[in-house]
Amino acid sequence: MSAAVVTGGGRGLGRAYALTLAAAGHAVVVNDLGDSPAAEVVAEIAAAGGTAVASTHDVTDFAAAAALIALAADTFGGLDVVVANAGILRDRTLAAMSEAEWDDVIAVHLKGTFAVAHHAAAHWRARAKAGEAVDGRLITTTSASGLYGNIGQSNYAAAKAGIAGFTLVAAQELRAYGVTVNCVAPSALTRLTEAPLRRYEGEITDARRHELDPGWVARVVAWLCGPDARDVTGRVFDIRGPQVGIASGWHLEPTFTQPEDADQLGRALRAAVAAAPPAADMEGQRR
């Protein structure tokens, strides 16, 4: 049986991933802070006939992340899937942001992703070096804020853009061990997004609730973790309910050779800026 770890699996998107992966036949380590959220999801999985165990490890703690990966390997005899999903928000404009608001967000998202991915990668590398055929999956989590920018989220965008870049490198490195690495940029109604959504959109209708059900994202994650996606790696999937897009990265266009003269350089730089595609808006579109 395939073994999966879902960080932040006690609520929101992580809960949906854990339930969907368990229903697809994976044994799941449901990780979340505090005693009840992970245990409640484990009970839900067990009630539906699935296999799961709870973990309360803090992903920002490097040693705890090692223990989380070891728990999966020890309990289920291996590790096949890691979904690095745990997250927090501490929104504030740059001029007003405190050091703690910056550090906390970077710790949970960026270090938390590294810590769990590092220990999983070491596990997969050891198995591959021992001659085992590994068929692993690492799913990381970015956001529209990190890909396209969003006011009030410089800490979160820095972490999430970092995770998108991290995904490209991890995909290149872990390919040799039989592991794919892909990133999701979800949109879903969760504890994290309910208050901001109410502020921007007002009362949330039933149709909008359906559109923002975490289950839409979980279906894509489950596919990425399955056998059909064995050759898909290094991609970023932007999932907004039923709408799915592939977010492509930085491209170098246009390029030019610097002229000697400083005035000419200024004109050439202006021309290049005018000819370059505009940055995407929050919908990921060039407008």
Ligand X SMILES: NC(=O)c1ccc[n+]([C@@H]2O[C@H](COP(=O)([O-])OP(=O)(O)OC[C@H]3O[C@@H](n4cnc5c(N)ncnc54)[C@H](O)[C@@H]3O)[C@@H](O)[C@H]2O)c1
Segment 251-270, which members bind ligand X (CB under 6 A)?
none
Q: How far is CA 37 from CA 15, 17, 61, in A?
A: 9, 14, 19
Q: In this chain, which stretch among 10-18, 21-29, 90-98, 168-176 interacts with ligand X, using CB under 6 A?
A: 10-18
SS3 254: coil
Determine, following the binding rule CB under 6 A, whether residue 120 of this chain makes contact with ligand X: no
Closest CB to ligand X among residues 127, 155: 155
Instruction: Yes or no: say if 50 and 105 are a contact pair by the CB < 8 Å rule.
Output: no
- Label residue 257 left, alpha or beta by phi (over 0 means left) and psi (-120 to 50 means alpha): beta
Of 102, 82, 81, the residue nearest 91 (C-alpha): 102
Q: In this chain, which stretch among 5-13, 126-134, 220-228, 259-267 interacts with ligand X, using CB under 6 A?
A: 5-13
Determine, following the binding rule CB under 6 A, whether residue 182 of this chain makes contact with ligand X: no
Determine, following the binding rule CB under 6 A, whether residue 80 of this chain makes contact with ligand X: no
Determine, following the binding rule CB under 6 A, whether residue 87 of this chain makes contact with ligand X: yes
Q: In this chain, which stretch among 54-62, 75-83, 169-177, 275-283 interacts with ligand X, using CB under 6 A?
A: 54-62
Closest CB to ligand X among residues 134, 225: 225
Closest CB to ligand X among residues 50, 186: 186
Q: Exactly one of 111, 148, 160, 187 is catalytic; which is it?
A: 160
Instruction: Yes or no: say if 241 and 216 are a contact pair by the CB < 8 Å rule.
Output: yes
Interface residue with ligand X among 136, 186, 218, 221 (CB under 6 A) is 186
Is 156 a catalytic site residue?
A: yes
E strands, the chain, are 3-6, 27-31, 52-55, 81-83, 136-141, 179-187, 236-240, 243-246
Interface residue with ligand X among 37, 50, 136, 162 (CB under 6 A) is 37
Q: Roughly how many angstroms between the first and final C-alpha of the chain, as a whole number? A: 47
Closest CB to ligand X among residues 129, 191: 191
Distance CA 281, CA 153 (A): 15
CA angle 252, 253, 259 (to 5 degrees): 100
Active-site residue list: 143, 156, 160
- Residue ranges that bind ligand X, judged by CB under 6 A: 7-8, 10-14, 31-33, 37, 58-60, 85-88, 108, 112, 141, 143, 186-188, 190-193
